[in-house]
Chains A and B, each alone.
Chain A
Amino acid sequence: MSAPIDGPGIRFDKIDKRYGGLYALRRVSLEIANGECVVLAGRNGSGKTTLLRIAARLVRPTSGTVTFSGEVGSDASRPAPVGFVAHATMVYDELSAEENLLLFGRLLAVRSIAARVAEMLSGLGIYERRGSLVRTFSRGMRQRVAIARALLHQPSVLLLDEPATGLDSVSVAWLARTLKQLRDSGCTMLMSLHGESEISALATRAIRLDAGAIAADSAAGASLRSILSFNATP
């Protein structure tokens, strides 16, 4: 994992995102320090996914900028230096786990790619199934491949959009262990979650979004637990 650098890991500066007349995000300004594990909470449609996709530079904000530590200025046309795990697995069903990782590793110019892929597959417990097509995998195994893809290039920032969706309790426990290792090694994480879980227990900070704006931030005095339990409140 990349060594933490001084200064914020991610800085969102006055982010607005409008779809027609509808605001998905309103004036969101946020600094996430290196090594922080931040959970985004909020109801469906509160802007969590939009914020994560803007951070990944997959969606262009209507106004405002996102910068990462070590970057000079914010160039929205540059790929974001992040790993991204979404609801969708973002891997090809018709390729094997190994072929998927080799493909993305080559695109990301990962050094010693074959060794790195073998290391990732072993670490995630899917080495034995490396030659099987992803479409033959269970949801939990697909998610492991998705996480391997996101971590291939050893990003210092990891974005996760409801990474536990569709996972059984064994897979959620595995995911929590994996994310804990990453957090402890200094990886900056920003993730959206629904309700409290083993994964939300990793949070060092929680932010609640409401109608596209920051409604509560544990770094500004709000209770981390009350923000995390918000989604569970009827």
Chain B
Amino acid sequence: MSLISNATVLFGKELRTEFRSRELLTTTVVFVLMVVVLFSFTFDPSSTESRRFAPGLLWLAFLFAASLMLQPCFLREQTNDTLSALRLSVSDPFAIFLAKLAANTLFLLITELLMLPVFSILFNIPVGSVVGSLVLVFFLGSLGISVTGTALSAISAQARMRELLLPILLLPLLTPVLIASTEATAALLDPAPAFRRDWIGFLAVFDIVFLTALWLFGEYLLEE
């Protein structure tokens, strides 16, 4: 119970600090917007090719944006050694991870939902009929990115060359999420939309496996 209540308190702190500064959301939204717009210039939006490639480009943009967004996740806790204060205050260190990954998932999801209409217009792909299913794919993909990214952010924050280390570790590890999310999104954006249970199931399993690993070993990632 203290795990959930501690995580809830910390989640509130994450939201308060982000909505006060708007640092992460603003930079992430602007970054994804730029990438999506630039991608749209390189393809003919009316061609069927764009329908094939756009989901992959969209998820690549989300992935790069996430690697930017996740960088300060634990780095910010080092400024005043607040991570030590948190470790002294919570009975289960997983609460720290739970709060951060929930906040990261939410921020990523907000970015994705803001980008969806822009993507739809620029690539000329109607999404109205599959929004519900797309939100599910976005949520599962974002959760996978956040779980692995939050864990790796804790590791990279204590390392030298931390700015390079996170993307180098994160991007290869998230290849399965990229493939599954892209395939599931592409199937939904097809002229004959399909709900690919196999890829969506794969995303759910990935999330559960990495969440369990973080719960079991997360404590060691926070040690000095």
Q: Which residues from chain A sit less than 8 Å from chain B, CB to CB? A: 53, 56-60, 77-80, 82, 84, 86, 88-95, 99, 103-104, 106-109, 149
Contacts and interface: CB of A to CB of B under 8 A. Distances in A.
Given A88-B80, A92-B17, A104-B85, 7 more contacts: A56-B84, A56-B88, A58-B88, A78-B91, A86-B81, A90-B85, A106-B9
B20 interface: yes
A92 B82 contact: yes
| In the complex, the 6 A-B pairs of residues with the closest C-beta atoms, listed nearest first | A88-B81, A90-B85, A107-B89, A106-B9, A88-B80, A89-B80
Given A58-B224, A103-B9, A109-B2, A94 B20 contact: yes
A103 B13 contact: yes
A53 B81 CA distance: 12
B178 to A, nearest CB: 33
A107 B90 contact: yes
Given A92-B80, A93-B80, A107-B9, A79 B87 contact: yes
Interface string B1-32: 01001100110010011001100000000000
Interface residues of B, number: 25
Given A94-B20, A99-B16, A58 B9 contact: no
A95 B88 CA distance: 19
Contacts of B89: 79, 104, 107-108
B91 A91 contact: no
A77 B177 CA distance: 32
Contacts of A78: 91
B85 A149 contact: yes
A59 B9 CA distance: 25
Contacts of A56: 84, 88
B223 interface: yes
6 contacts: A53-B224, A56-B84, A57-B87, A79-B88, A90-B80, A92-B17
A96 to B, nearest CB: 10
